[in-house]
């Protein structure tokens, strides 16, 4: 699924965010990306979302070299990738329902299948009773579930999450992780960046540890 | 089609959400186009007037009261020889002149009757060929006539028309320059207003980009928002200009008969008005486009 070959990313001339990174993540894998602050976790996810491209090396996802995509191909690629951030990134002036339906709407989906699918994912994260609430009326855990529903609406083959539980207490964190496990159980590849070692211990999956942009552990 | 619907919905919603700023953009466009088309209206009306006067351009050759028969015939012969310039000539005796005055100014007829002697000179009223109304042949003829014995004065209004014509040109030029500057200012305003709307929605735009939304869905609403502002501004400008024309038309200051008839003040030609609206939309579109592409 993901194949990184000697990937390096520099933000400035001298600062390596990622250095000579080589790794493989299989289709259907559930991977934790961990390591201290500044290790390059977010950078790697940004490369996978094709927000950035590597300065050196090749990063392939599902056989596609992410450095060699046209604008249209980037759009097509991103439609198959779901993302979740630590700060949820919900749109405050839209209701829960609108936040989720926003994605198929801006991708030009018809309104009937769009509605059906929106209800489906909303139900799946257990928030159908809150669909007319606004994000700021929800708890952190609920907001993150809305964000997860939004990430799932396109049936992505790959879900990326950057510190999805960073703003949540341990119980809620585990609850959110269970959602990711369920997503993964249906065959979707999941990559979660977190420095919450306790959470990793509880969930116990394939873990890649980074430090200073290099892999220090891959188990 | 769905994309277009989406853009229209988003653009109108955004216009409404930022109605204060939108109004500002619409007003700047309206002012720019009002000034531009206002000058065009003034200059085109002046030109119409000039054209009418040109058609009616006449040369009046006033004769001395004590002119001899031979002198009068020689003046007539000068006009006859210049038939390349002269279309028609008519002799108006002193009595004819008085009669004409009484006809044209009935209010003053009794005053004229009270005069001891007829103060109006005899004259040749000369109608010029239209082809020559623009060159200097009539002026040369006028100069020649002034040298002819028995002629006291030659009145030829060319200079006046020329001066007016350069006023019309200046008017148009000023319209272009001022209008151009204001249009540039309008583009800047639309750009910043649209950019403001864009900043207000940068999270939304970020998400659109990350989920792989097509460029049209991301930028379209902003370009359309600018275009709508431009169209509304142009409409406002035309409405204001139209009311101004109506006000001028209703005014009673009709200077001497047929000289300048304000009630006939013309508005912009429909094609020009359409051009103003299109121009306004283009201005807004450019502003929206600039705003939509810069912060990326
Ligand atoms: N936009 C940027 N411009 C310049 N340097 C950056 C940028 N983003 C990240 N960096 C640098 O790249 C390195 C890796 O950053 P990154 O955000 O990937 O770390 P991280 O592992 O996600 O850290 P954290 O756990 O704090 O989120 C850091 O040294 C950081 O300062
Ligand atoms: Mg990070």
pLDDT at B255: 52
Q: Is A212 on the interface with B (CB under 8 A)?
A: no
Ligand 1 atom nearest to A12, measured from its CA = 4
Asked whether the predicted pLDDT for residue B270 surpasses 90, the reply is no
Question: Residue A118: pLDDT band by 50, 70, 90 thresholds?
Answer: very high
CATH of the domain at B110: 3.30.70.3040
* Cα distance between residue A202 and residue A208, in whole Å: 16
pLDDT over 70 for what percent of chain B? 90
Sign of CA dihedral B99, B104, B110, B115: negative
Instruction: For residue B201, give the chain A residue with the closest CA.
Output: A91
A-chain CB neighbours of B210 within 8 Å are 49, 51, 78, 83
Of A71, A74, A108, the CB nearest to B2: A108
Cα of B193 to nearest chain A Cα, Å = 20
Asked whether the predicted pLDDT for residue A79 surpasses 90, the reply is yes
Q: Is A14 on the interface with B (CB under 8 A)?
A: no
Same domain? For B176 and B282 the reply is: yes
Same domain? For B146 and B208 the reply is: no
Of A49, A51, A108, the CB nearest to B3: A108
Question: Residue B257: pLDDT band by 50, 70, 90 thresholds?
Answer: very low
Closest CA to A95 of A59, A149, A53, A42: A149
Tokens of B121: 């000179």
Which residue matches tokens 């994912």?
A: A121
Choose the most confident range, by mean pLDDT, from B4-18, B53-67, B266-280: B4-18
Same domain? For B100 and B156 the reply is: yes
Which residue matches tokens 């002819």?
A: B148
Closest CA to A149 of A175, A173, A184, A180: A180
Same domain? For B146 and B276 the reply is: no
Interval B242-256: pLDDT, tens: 898 888 877 765 554
Interval B180-207: pLDDT, tens: 888 888 888 888 888 888 888 888 889 9
Arithmetic mean of pLDDT, B103-128: 79
Same domain? For B49 and B61 the reply is: no
Asked whether the predicted pLDDT for residue B146 surpasses 80, the reply is yes
- The residue among B126, B161, B196 that closes a domain is B161
Asked whether the predicted pLDDT for residue A64 surpasses 70, the reply is yes
DSSP readout, A185-212? Answer: HTT-EEEEE---HHHHHHH--EEEEEET
- The residue among B137, B161, B185 that closes a domain is B161
Question: Residue B174: pLDDT band by 50, 70, 90 thresholds?
Answer: confident
Asked whether the predicted pLDDT for residue B295 surpasses 60, the reply is no
Interval A21-38: pLDDT, tens: 999 999 999 999 999 999
Same domain? For B125 and B12 the reply is: no
Check residues B175 and A84 and name the one with the higher pLDDT: A84
Asked whether the predicted pLDDT for residue B267 surpasses 50, the reply is yes
Same domain? For B185 and B287 the reply is: yes
Tokens of A68: 């060699």
Report the number of distinct structural domains present in chain B: 2
pLDDT at B294: 59
Same domain? For B141 and B242 the reply is: no
Arithmetic mean of pLDDT, B71-93: 85
Asked whether the predicted pLDDT for residue A9 surpasses 90, the reply is yes
Q: Which domain holds residue B241?
A: 2-53+165-292
Question: Residue A99: pLDDT band by 50, 70, 90 thresholds?
Answer: very high
CA distances from B169 to B6, B153, B161, B165, B256 (A): 46, 31, 12, 6, 25
- The residue among B111, B139, B161 that closes a domain is B161
As a whole number, the mean pLDDT across chain B is 82
pLDDT at B158: 66
Helix (H) or strand (E) segment spanning residue A82: strand A81-85
Same domain? For B42 and B105 the reply is: no
Residue to mutate among B9, B205, B212, B215, with most A CBs inside 10 A, is B212
Question: Residue A57: pLDDT band by 50, 70, 90 thresholds?
Answer: very high
Pairwise CB contact (< 8 Å): B6 & A108: yes
Same domain? For B60 and B87 the reply is: yes
B-chain CB neighbours of A88 within 8 Å are none
For a ligand 1 pocket test, name from A43, A45, A55 the mutation site with the most ligand atoms within 8 angstroms of its C-beta. Answer: A43
Sheet holding B123-128, edge to edge: B86-92, B123-128, B58-63, B151-156
Arithmetic mean of pLDDT, B131-135: 60
Give this prediction's pTM. Answer: 0.73
Same domain? For B124 and B223 the reply is: no
Same domain? For B136 and B219 the reply is: no
């Amino acid at each position: 699924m993901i194949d990184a070959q000697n990937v390096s990313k520099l933000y400035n001339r001298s600062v390596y965010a990622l250095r000579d990174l080589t790794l493989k993540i299989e289709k259907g894998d559930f991977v934790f990306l961990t390591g201290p602050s500044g290790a390059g976790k977010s950078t790697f996810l940004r490369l996978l979302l094709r927000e950035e491209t590597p300065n050196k090396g090749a990063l392939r996802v599902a056989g596609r070299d992410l450095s060699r995509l046209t604008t249209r191909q980037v759009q097509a690629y991103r439609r198959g990738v779901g993302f979740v951030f630590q700060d949820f990134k919900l749109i405050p002036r839209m209701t829960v329902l609108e936040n989720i339906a926003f994605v198929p709407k801006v991708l030009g989906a018809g309104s009937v299948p769009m509605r059906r699918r929106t209800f489906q994912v909303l139900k799946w994260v257990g928030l159908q009773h809150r669909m007319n609430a606004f994000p700021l009326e929800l708890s952190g855990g609920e907001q993150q579930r809305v964000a997860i529903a939004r990430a799932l609406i396109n049936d992505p083959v790959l879900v990326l999450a950057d510190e999805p539980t960073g703003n949540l207490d341990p119980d809620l964190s585990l609850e959110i992780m269970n959602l990711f496990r369920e997503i993964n159980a249906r065959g979707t590849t999941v990559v979660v960046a977190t420095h919450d070692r306790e959470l990793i211990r509880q969930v116990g999956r394939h873990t890649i540890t980074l430090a200073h942009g290099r892999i220090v552990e891959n188990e | 089609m769905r994309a277009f619907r989406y853009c229209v919905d988003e653009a109108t919603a955004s216009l409404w959400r930022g109605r204060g700023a939108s109004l500002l953009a619409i007003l700047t466009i309206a002012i720019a186009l009002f000034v531009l088309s206002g000058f065009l209206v003034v200059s085109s009306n002046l030109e119409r007037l000039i054209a009418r006067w040109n058609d009616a351009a006449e040369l009046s050759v006033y004769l001395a009261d004590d002119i001899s028969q031979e002198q009068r015939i020689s003046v007539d012969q000068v006009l006859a020889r210049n038939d390349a310039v002269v279309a028609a000539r008519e002799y108006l005796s002193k009595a004819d002149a008085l009669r004409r005055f009484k006809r044209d100014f009935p209010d003053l007829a009794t005053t004229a009757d009270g005069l001891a002697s007829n103060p109006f000179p005899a004259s040749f009223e000369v109608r010029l060929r239209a082809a020559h109304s623009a060159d200097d042949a009539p002026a040369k003829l006028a100069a020649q006539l002034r040298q002819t014995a028995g002629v006291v004065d030659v009145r030829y209004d060319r200079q006046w028309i020329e001066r007016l014509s350069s006023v019309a040109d200046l008017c148009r030029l000023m319209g272009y320059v001022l209008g151009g500057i204001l249009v540039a200012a309008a583009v800047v305003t639309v750009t910043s207003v649209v950019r403001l709307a864009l900043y207000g929605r940068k999270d939304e735009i970020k998400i659109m980009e990350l989920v792989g939304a097509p460029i049209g869905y991301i930028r379209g609403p902003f370009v359309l928002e600018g275009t709508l502002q431009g169209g509304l501004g142009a409409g406002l400008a035309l409405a204001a200009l139209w009311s101004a024309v109506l006000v001028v038309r209703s005014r009673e200051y009709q200077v001497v008969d047929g000289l300048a008839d304000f009630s006939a003040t013309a508005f912009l030609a429909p094609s020009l008005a359409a051009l103003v609206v299109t121009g306004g939309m283009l201005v807004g579109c450019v502003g929206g486009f600039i705003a939509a592409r810069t912060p990326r």
